[in-house]
Chains A and B, each alone.
Chain A
Amino acid sequence: MSTREQYVAVDLLPGTLDLLILQTLLLGPCHGHAIACSIELRSEEVLRVGHGSLYPALQRLLKLKLIAAEDGISENNRKARFYRLTDKGRKTLHVETSKWHLFSKAIARILSPASPETR
């Protein structure tokens, strides 16, 4: 039964995780590890269950065509898979961010000290 519970937990996250991924990519194309680190810097909570949950989220965003992926060479000359924001992703980010601001304010009123840092 344990897997089923996890699945539910992951299910609750996407709104936030997806949004954070998109925000990270706003700065430029990134590979998976770099995205994870960047998100971790801003919110440890989101990736609490592990960096692993990043990958299903990336697949979801790929499927929605909000991001695109291509193979490239990373800083230390290693092959890596880079993700970048698409135009559709950029637009969605705008809409989602404003929604998120409303939502996070509501959350902040209930939970202290919750301070999801957003731009």
Chain B
Amino acid sequence: MQFWDRRRIRLEEEIQDHIERETEDNIRSGMSLVEAREAAQKKFGNTLLAVERSREIWGGLRVEYFLKDLRYALRSLRRAPGYATAVVLTLALGLGSVATILAIADSVLLRPVPLPHPRQLVMIYGKTDQAGTWEDLSYRQIETLRRDSHSFSGIAAYLTMVKAVGTPDGARVALYAAITPNFFRMLGVPAKMGRLLTSADANRPVVLVSDEFWQERLHGDPHVLGSSVQISGTPRTIVGVLPANLDLPFVRGGPFVYAPISLEAKHKDLLFSSSALALARLKPGVSPSQALAEARSLLVHDQDRNGADGQRLTIEPLTHFISGSLERPLLALLGGVGILLLIACANAANLQIARATERLAEMEVRSALGASFPRLLQQLLVESLVISMAGASVGGGVAVAATAAIRGAYAERFARFDEIGVHPAVLAALALLAVMAGLLGSLAPALRIRRTTAVVRTQRSITTRNRASGALVIFQVALTCILLVTCGLFVRTMHALEQVPVGFDPHHVTTLVLMPLDSNQPPATLRQTDTLLLARFQTLPGVEAATMQTRIPFSDYGFSLSGTTDVSGRAFEKNDVASYTVVSSSFLQASGIQLLRGRGFEAQDDGDGAIVVLVNQAFVRRFLPGRNPLGVTLRMHRDPGDKDSDLPVRGNMTVIGVVQNEIQGPLGSAFDPMVYLDDLQLPRDSSFLGLYGIASQFAIRSRLPEGVLDKEIRATLKQIAPDMAEMQLQPMEKGIAASLEERRLALRLVSGFGAMALLLAAIGIYGLLAYTVTLRRKEIGIRMALGSSRTGVARLVLKQAGRTVLWGVIPGIAGAWAAEHTVRSFLFGVQALDPLAVGSAAIMLALTAGMAAAIPAWNAARVDPMEVLRIE
């Protein structure tokens, strides 16, 4: 400002000097002083114009005008605080929510994992089907790739599980990963303390611990190296501590211990079957597809039954493997907030149109005084940009706060959520969106001003309407309708899921998961403990029934065996796979599962006779359609070359009963064909018994209050099984609720969007109608003077509201139908155009519009015709 002012003042002085000289000349030629001055001024012409033209040539004028406009904009916004707050908050809402989701998507999906050359890191696994379940590679396959492949600079293998880890504080359950010694070296993760594993460590009892384990369990002791921890009863020496916040598939923050596995090791144990997750680093310049082609050619002849089928081998970038499952939900959310932003922009534009109309008189005066249209446009644009930038700043603040809250709440639950932050790229995108919103916001009022200032307003129109704002509100209603219908679909999904027959009675059932602190005990001992515990649970006062099950629904620790099965009277096919679960005899009473045919396990079943089993409906449908399932015998299929010890159950299994399908995984998933084996009948050498070394699971049915029962159970544990760690003790209904939590979160988000959209739409409709009533005041007055009743006038306003909703809902429903395709994978049990969802969305919109229209309608009805006509 200073510089421009100085330059201007100097020019003005120069011009003044010019005129004085001219005056002196004139005096010299004989004029009087007054005449001379007048003549000089006349000769010079318009002083102001000369200065203005000069300033235009200086060019800084544009900036100067801009700053002036900025000051003017700030001043005029201060004069209309209500308007300014409304627009800024509207935009802050839209921009803030978009920035939040963008920040999450950017941090989780786009940013490479924080490891050296992260794009070279890939996961290698066998993809079994569309649902995304995968097969690990067998040790032999990993070894083959490591030996013969030229695509990788390194291949590491690992598998994770839960184990009891003893420290000086006592034994507690921790996360355990068996890794190949090269694992961290290949990833490029250095040790925070001590050293990483070397190939010499393959068969040594050494262990690395995660930073969290070191902090939580070892109290951050700096002299921890060389001390030992007990892993499932075996002592191992700590040689290194790893840095915090490692984020790998199945290895996310938490108390982790890492022990070496050796690929050559032969595990007899069924559950530690010799296969693992393979993680590899590509050589520089090798693409994943090249690596895949080579790996397939190497493994195509390898028919290792423990490993993945060479044909189905997949190589996927690590980043994608870690957070790929979040891609679709995040994109869907981005769509949701995008719609919200559009609604907010439409609202802001509408508010600006209304304000521009109020200021038409001002604009006309400015235009008459010589302001060109581009100049007026610039002023509008600056005002609009000031508003949208203010909105973006508030929105940015909202995003920073929201991402911090989300990071705090979900860092543990979702991969890479601990890395969420608002990065500069997101801020740049936010600024860009704000500028676009500003441009859009000033466009409509500018067009309106152009129309009105370009033509001389000779005639005074009685009825004034504004098509642009009407269209914007219809657009808003349509977008809101999309969000509301989608929200309705989610609500319906939730209901449908809660109505899914689970196949058993989950009420008053408490689940208990235990883990032996020392898994080296013989399975028979552990089994004995379990049997003893079960017997005690059954006799606890207030307990109706109790059962032991290797796989309890909605438990994170369930184990079942997928086994190829021969069914008598049926030719074996390659994919004849059933899930085998071991239960105790009291299974039927305790789970409340319904017996459809035959009988349950009975006391006389235990012994050395033929094994009797129960199967579920899905099993009958799959393997025994149209046959009487009772009496059918099953055998675990024996592949050529299999030894007796490879089969968990060698003898015949006779079906004695059919039970209802019992849901296992998340609600809404398909039922597996299941075979239930009685624990007491399992042969002593069955590899199934290895399960006891991992975890024991109980379901206890009781009507006692949660606290009382928990106390009783814990007392029993202390007495009978002091060397078992309690991993989970919770009512089963809690587990079911937890399994729905992700969907509930989605529902909460979508309904949040829906509510916000509804609010914005209500403001939009209200604004439009209030503004229309102001514009049509004269018309309304004349109508009333001509005999229209007050209700008639109010109806006029309500009709407009109705039309707006109607015109908005029709494209809105079409939009919702399209939107359903993008969220279909989150839905269950509803159709795209679910009449209930669509109907309630329409009714909600109509009600909202009615409420929003009430005040303008009331105002219209209160118009005093005499007053209006007097003004005329």
A contact residues vs B (CB 8 Å cutoff): 2-4, 6-7, 10, 31-33, 36-37, 49-56, 58-60, 63, 78-81
- Cα separation A81 to B42 with both chains bound (whole Å): 22
User: Is there an interface contact between B49 and A52, defined as CB atoms closer than 8 Å?
Assistant: yes
User: Is there an interface contact between B59 and A32, defined as CB atoms closer than 8 Å?
Assistant: no
- Cα separation A55 to B56 with both chains bound (whole Å): 12
Instruction: Jot down 30 A-B pairs with beta carbons below 8 A, ordered by A.
Output: A2-B370, A3-B49, A4-B370, A7-B53, A32-B17, A33-B18, A36-B18, A37-B25, A50-B43, A50-B45, A51-B18, A51-B22, A51-B44, A51-B45, A52-B45, A52-B46, A52-B50, A53-B45, A53-B50, A54-B50, A55-B11, A55-B14, A55-B53, A56-B53, A56-B56, A59-B11, A63-B59, A80-B17, A81-B14, A81-B17
User: Is there an interface contact between A6 and B14, defined as CB atoms closer than 8 Å?
Assistant: no
B250 at interface, CB cutoff 8 A:
no
B58 at interface, CB cutoff 8 A:
yes
- Cα separation A80 to B370 with both chains bound (whole Å): 33
User: Is there an interface contact between A59 and B58, defined as CB atoms closer than 8 Å?
Assistant: yes
Nearest A residue to B58 via CB reads A59
User: Is there an interface contact between B370 and A52, defined as CB atoms closer than 8 Å?
Assistant: no
- Cα separation A31 to B11 with both chains bound (whole Å): 12
For residue A33, which residues in chain B have a CB less than 8 angstroms away from its CB? 17-18, 21-22
- Cα separation A87 to B11 with both chains bound (whole Å): 24
- Cα separation A50 to B47 with both chains bound (whole Å): 10
With most chain B CB atoms within 10 A of its CB, the pick from A52, A54, A55 is: A52
How many chain B residues touch A (Cβ–Cβ < 8 Å)? 26
- Cα separation A81 to B16 with both chains bound (whole Å): 12
CB proximity to A under 8 Å, residues B789-809: none
CB proximity to A under 8 Å, residues B1-44: 10-11, 14-15, 17-18, 21-22, 25, 42-44
Given the known interface contacts A6-B49, A10-B53, A33-B21, the answer about A52 and B58 at a Cβ–Cβ threshold of 8 Å is no
User: Is there an interface contact between B22 and A78, defined as CB atoms closer than 8 Å?
Assistant: no
Given the known interface contacts A3-B370, A32-B18, A80-B17, the answer about A55 and B45 at a Cβ–Cβ threshold of 8 Å is no
Nearest B residue to A32 via CB reads B18
Given the known interface contacts A10-B53, A49-B45, the answer about A55 and B15 at a Cβ–Cβ threshold of 8 Å is yes
B745 at interface, CB cutoff 8 A:
no
CB proximity to A under 8 Å, residues B692-750: none
- Cα separation A4 to B372 with both chains bound (whole Å): 8
- Cα separation A54 to B50 with both chains bound (whole Å): 8
For residue A55, which residues in chain B have a CB less than 8 angstroms away from its CB? 11, 14-15, 50-51, 53-54
- Cα separation A49 to B49 with both chains bound (whole Å): 11
User: Is there an interface contact between A60 and B17, defined as CB atoms closer than 8 Å?
Assistant: no
Given the known interface contacts A63-B59, A78-B17, A80-B17, the answer about A52 and B47 at a Cβ–Cβ threshold of 8 Å is yes
**A54–chain B nearest beta-carbon distance, Å:** 8
For residue A49, which residues in chain B have a CB less than 8 angstroms away from its CB? 45
- Cα separation A53 to B57 with both chains bound (whole Å): 12
Nearest A residue to B372 via CB reads A4
- Of the candidates B25, B44, B57, B372, the one whose C-beta lies within 8 Å of that of A52 is B44
DSSP class of A's interface residues: helix, strand, loop or mixed?
helix
The 4 closest A-B pairs by CB, nearest first: A50-B45, A52-B50, A56-B53, A52-B45
For residue A37, which residues in chain B have a CB less than 8 angstroms away from its CB? 25
User: Is there an interface contact between A59 and B45, defined as CB atoms closer than 8 Å?
Assistant: no
For residue B54, which residues in chain A have a CB less than 8 angstroms away from its CB? 55-56, 58-59
For residue B56, which residues in chain A have a CB less than 8 angstroms away from its CB? 56
For residue A78, which residues in chain B have a CB less than 8 angstroms away from its CB? 17
For residue B22, which residues in chain A have a CB less than 8 angstroms away from its CB? 33, 51
User: Is there an interface contact between A63 and B49, defined as CB atoms closer than 8 Å?
Assistant: no
**A114–chain B nearest beta-carbon distance, Å:** 23
**A13–chain B nearest beta-carbon distance, Å:** 11
- Cα separation A36 to B15 with both chains bound (whole Å): 12
For residue A10, which residues in chain B have a CB less than 8 angstroms away from its CB? 53
For residue A4, which residues in chain B have a CB less than 8 angstroms away from its CB? 370, 372
- Cα separation A50 to B21 with both chains bound (whole Å): 15
Nearest B residue to A11 via CB reads B53
**A21–chain B nearest beta-carbon distance, Å:** 14
**A93–chain B nearest beta-carbon distance, Å:** 20
Given the known interface contacts A6-B49, A51-B22, A52-B44, the answer about A63 and B370 at a Cβ–Cβ threshold of 8 Å is no
Nearest B residue to A55 via CB reads B50
User: Is there an interface contact between A51 and B58, defined as CB atoms closer than 8 Å?
Assistant: no
- Of the candidates B14, B21, B25, B57, the one whose C-beta lies within 8 Å of that of A63 is B57
User: Is there an interface contact between A50 and B370, defined as CB atoms closer than 8 Å?
Assistant: no
For residue B17, which residues in chain A have a CB less than 8 angstroms away from its CB? 31-33, 78-81
For residue A50, which residues in chain B have a CB less than 8 angstroms away from its CB? 42-46, 50
**A64–chain B nearest beta-carbon distance, Å:** 10
User: Is there an interface contact between A56 and B44, defined as CB atoms closer than 8 Å?
Assistant: no
**B301–chain A nearest beta-carbon distance, Å:** 80
Nearest B residue to A80 via CB reads B17
CB proximity to A under 8 Å, residues B194-236: none
For residue B10, which residues in chain A have a CB less than 8 angstroms away from its CB? 81
For residue A80, which residues in chain B have a CB less than 8 angstroms away from its CB? 17
Nearest A residue to B57 via CB reads A59
**A45–chain B nearest beta-carbon distance, Å:** 14
- Cα separation A10 to B59 with both chains bound (whole Å): 17
**A92–chain B nearest beta-carbon distance, Å:** 17
**B375–chain A nearest beta-carbon distance, Å:** 11
For residue A31, which residues in chain B have a CB less than 8 angstroms away from its CB? 17
For residue A36, which residues in chain B have a CB less than 8 angstroms away from its CB? 18
Q: A32-B14, A32-B18 are in contact. List 8 more A-B contacts (CB 8 A).
A: A2-B370, A4-B370, A33-B17, A51-B22, A53-B50, A55-B54, A56-B54, A63-B58
- Cα separation A3 to B57 with both chains bound (whole Å): 16
User: Is there an interface contact between B14 and A52, defined as CB atoms closer than 8 Å?
Assistant: no
**A51–chain B nearest beta-carbon distance, Å:** 5
For residue B49, which residues in chain A have a CB less than 8 angstroms away from its CB? 3, 6, 52
For residue B53, which residues in chain A have a CB less than 8 angstroms away from its CB? 7, 10, 53, 55-56
- Cα separation A80 to B10 with both chains bound (whole Å): 11
- Cα separation A59 to B61 with both chains bound (whole Å): 13
**B638–chain A nearest beta-carbon distance, Å:** 96
- Cα separation A114 to B14 with both chains bound (whole Å): 33
For residue B15, which residues in chain A have a CB less than 8 angstroms away from its CB? 32, 52, 55
- Cα separation A33 to B15 with both chains bound (whole Å): 9
**A89–chain B nearest beta-carbon distance, Å:** 16
With most chain B CB atoms within 10 A of its CB, the pick from A4, A51, A63, A81 is: A51
With most chain A CB atoms within 10 A of its CB, the pick from B18, B54, B58 is: B18
**A6–chain B nearest beta-carbon distance, Å:** 7
User: Is there an interface contact between A56 and B50, defined as CB atoms closer than 8 Å?
Assistant: yes
CB proximity to A under 8 Å, residues B365-380: 370, 372
User: Is there an interface contact between B370 and A56, defined as CB atoms closer than 8 Å?
Assistant: no
For residue B43, which residues in chain A have a CB less than 8 angstroms away from its CB? 50-51
- Cα separation A33 to B49 with both chains bound (whole Å): 17
- Cα separation A31 to B43 with both chains bound (whole Å): 17
With most chain B CB atoms within 10 A of its CB, the pick from A31, A32, A56 is: A56
Nearest A residue to B59 via CB reads A63
**A19–chain B nearest beta-carbon distance, Å:** 17
- Cα separation A63 to B10 with both chains bound (whole Å): 16
Nearest B residue to A35 via CB reads B18
For residue A81, which residues in chain B have a CB less than 8 angstroms away from its CB? 10, 14, 17
**B36–chain A nearest beta-carbon distance, Å:** 14
- Cα separation A81 to B17 with both chains bound (whole Å): 9
For residue A63, which residues in chain B have a CB less than 8 angstroms away from its CB? 57-59
Nearest A residue to B370 via CB reads A3
For residue B370, which residues in chain A have a CB less than 8 angstroms away from its CB? 2-4
Nearest B residue to A1 via CB reads B370
For residue A2, which residues in chain B have a CB less than 8 angstroms away from its CB? 370
- Cα separation A6 to B45 with both chains bound (whole Å): 12
